[in-house]
A = this chain, B = another copy of it.
Amino acid sequence: MNVLIVYAHPEPRSLNGSLKDFSVRRLQDAGHTVQVSDLYAMRWKAAFDGDDQLDRPADARFDPVLDSKRAYAGGSQSADIAAEQDKLRWADAVILQFPLWWFTMPAILKGWIDRVYAYGFGYGVGEHSDVRWGDRYGEGTLAGKRAMLVVTTGGWESHYSARGVNGPIDDVLFPIQHGVLYYPGFEVLPPFVVYRTSRVDERRYETVRDALGERLDALWTTPPIPFRRQNGGAYEIPALTLKPEIAPERVGFAAHLE
C-alpha cells in the first residue's frame, strides 16, 4: 500500500524526527511504499494567497474560494499545491505528524491544509440538494483512504483527560480529525499521542516507538472513529443538525459519533 507522511517539525534531530524516521522504516519493512512531505525541509509556503493561482491578474481582487475553484478546475494552481494533491490521490493512508503547538498543528502544516485543500478537491465537491449537502463528512475526494494523527505534546495525559484543564484530547483534536480529515472523506483512525515529551529518555523512547510500530502494523485493520456520515440520514438538510430522534440527549462534538 502507499503511505504519505506529512511531517511538520523544524528539527530532524528531535523526538518527532526520530519517530518519523522510524515510521518510514517500519512501513517499508512491511512492504509499503512511503512518501514523506517534510514541510520544514521543503520550505513549504504557509500563507494561502493570490500568488497560489498562476493565472490571476496581479491587481484583481483575491477571493479565496472562487480563485481556488478556478485555479483547481483550470490547472493553474501553483505547482507545489498540485504536487501535494497528487500525493494524496496516490496514498492509501495518510499520517499527519506534528507537535501540538497551542492545541493545534504548527502554522506550516495548517498552511498545507489551507493551500492543498482546494475548492473542488478538499471542499466544494458534490451536489447540494434536499437530500445531500455536498460530498463531505464521510464522502469526498479522499473517501476510501485512511488517515491518522501522530502527535506529541509537552502536557501530561491527565491535563488532556475528560476533566483535564486543556480539554479532552479527543475534543482538542476534533476540529482536525473530523473537520480536516473526515470532511473530505478519510476514515480516521484513533490518534497516536505522546505526552510529556520533555521526559522521554532512551527507555521510554523504546516504549513509545514500539507502541507506534504496533499502530503502524495495524494501519489497515484498526477500526476508524465512528463519525456519522453527513448524508447518511442522521442530519436534517440543509440545517445539518442531528435529527431529534438521533441521540436526543447529546450535544457537542461527541454527538457526531455513532
Write the residues of chain A forming the contact surface with B, with a CB cutoff of 8 angstroms. 10-11, 13-14, 40, 44, 46-50, 61-65, 99, 101-108, 110-111, 113-114, 117, 137, 154, 156, 158-159, 161-168, 171-172, 174-176, 178-180, 198, 230, 235, 238-242, 250-256
Contact = CB atoms under 8 A, between A and B. Distances in A.
A42 to B, nearest CB: 11
A152 B258 CA distance: 30
29 contacts: A10-B47, A14-B61, A14-B62, A14-B63, A44-B47, A46-B111, A47-B107, A48-B101, A64-B101, A102-B110, A102-B175, A104-B104, A104-B175, A105-B110, A107-B113, A107-B114, A137-B165, A156-B238, A158-B239, A158-B240, A163-B241, A163-B255, A164-B241, A165-B230, A165-B235, A167-B175, A167-B178, A168-B251, A252-B253
Contacts of A174: 167, 171
A178 B14 CA distance: 28
Contact of A99 (B46, B64, B162, B230): B64
A168 B63 CA distance: 27
A161 B107 contact: no
A11 B61 contact: yes
Number of this chain's copies in the assembly equals 2
Contacts of A101: 48, 64, 113-114
A252 B239 CA distance: 25
Contacts of A62: 10-11, 14
Contact of A161 (B63, B64, B99, B241): B241
Nearest to A115: B107
Interchain residue pairs A-B with the least CB separation, the first 3: A107-B111, A46-B46, A103-B179
Contacts of A161: 241
Nearest to A172: B175
